[in-house]
Structure 1
Amino acid sequence: MNASATVSVGSCLSTSKPLCVGLSPVPICLPRRRRRCLMIEAEVELAASEAQSSYRRLILLRHAKSSWQYPALRDHDRPLSKSGRVDAVTVSQKLQRMGWIPQLILSSDAVRTRETLKIMQEQVRGFLEAEVHFISSFYSIAAMDGQTAEHLQRTICQYSSGEILTIMCMGHNRGWEEAASMFTGASIELKTCNAALLEAPGKSWEEAFDAAGYGGWKLQGIVTPSSNL
Structure 2
Amino acid sequence: MFNFMSPFSDQAIIFNFTSIQRKTIWQIAAQRFQILKSEMNASATVGVGTCLSTSKPLSIGLTPVPICLLRRRRRCLMIGAETEVELAASEAQPASRRLILLRHAKSSWQHPSLRDHDRPLSKTGRVDAVTVSRKLQRMGWIPQLILCRETLNIMQEEARGFLEAEVHFISSYYSIAAMDGQTAEHLQRTICHYSRDELFTIMCMGHNRGWEEAASMFTGASVELKTCNAALLEAPGKSWEEAFAVAGYGGWKLQGIVTPSSNL
TM-score by length of structure 1 reads 0.83
Asked if 2 retains the 8 angstrom alpha-carbon contact of 1:64 and 1:88, the reply is yes
Structure 1 distance, partners of 2:129, 2:112, is 23
Q: Equivalent residue for 2:212?
A: 177
Write out aligned runs for 1:37-76 (5 A). Answer: 37-48=79-90, 51=93, 54-76=95-117
Kindly provide the CA deviation profile for residues 13-69 of structure 1, in whole angstroms up to 9, marking residues without a partner as x: 47x9888989xxxxx9x9667535412222213433664x61100000011100111
Change (3 A) 1:212 1:11: same
Aligned AA (2:96): Y
Q: Shift of the alpha carbon at 1:12?
A: 5.5
In structure 2, runs of 5+ residues without a counterpart are: 1-38, 45-57, 65-69
The answer to whether 1:195 aligns with 2:200 is no
RMSD across aligned positions (CA): 2.7
CA distance in 2, matches of 1:87, 1:21: 69
Verify the 8 A CA contact 2:232 2:255 in the aligned structure 1. yes
Q: Give, in whole Å, the separation in 2 of the partners of 1:221 and 1:42.
A: 34
User: Aligned partners of 2:133, 2:250: CA distance in 1, in Å?
Assistant: 27
Q: 2:153 aligns with which of 118, 121, 124?
A: 118
1:134 alignment counterpart: 169
TM-aligned CA distance change 1:90 to 1:34, over 3 Å: closer
**Greater relative contact order (Cα < 8 A, sep 6+):** 1
Q: Are positions 1:91 and 2:127 aligned together?
A: no
User: Letter of the aligned partner of 1:58 in structure 2?
Assistant: L
For each residue in 1:200-227, what CA deviation from the matched residue of structure 2 results, as whole angstroms up to 9, or x when unmatched? 0100000000000000000000000000
Within 1, Cα distance between the matches of 2:62 and 2:171? 68
Displacement of 1:73 in angstroms is 1.0
State the partner residue of 1:155: 190
Q: Judging changes above 3 Å, is the alpha-carbon distance between structure 1 residues 89 and 159 closer, same or farther for their aligned structure 2 residues? A: same
Contact 2:41 2:60 in 1 (8 A): no
Q: Which of these two proteins has the greater Rg computed from alpha carbons?
A: 2
Query: Partners of 1:213 and 1:83 in 2: how far apart?
Result: 36
One-letter amino acid matched to 1:39: A
Give the corresponding residue for 2:141.
100
Counterpart CA distance in 2 for 1:140 and 1:17 is: 79
SS of 1:122's equivalent?
helix
Count of aligned pairs: 208
Give distance in 1, aligned partners of 2:63 and 2:165.
Answer: 48
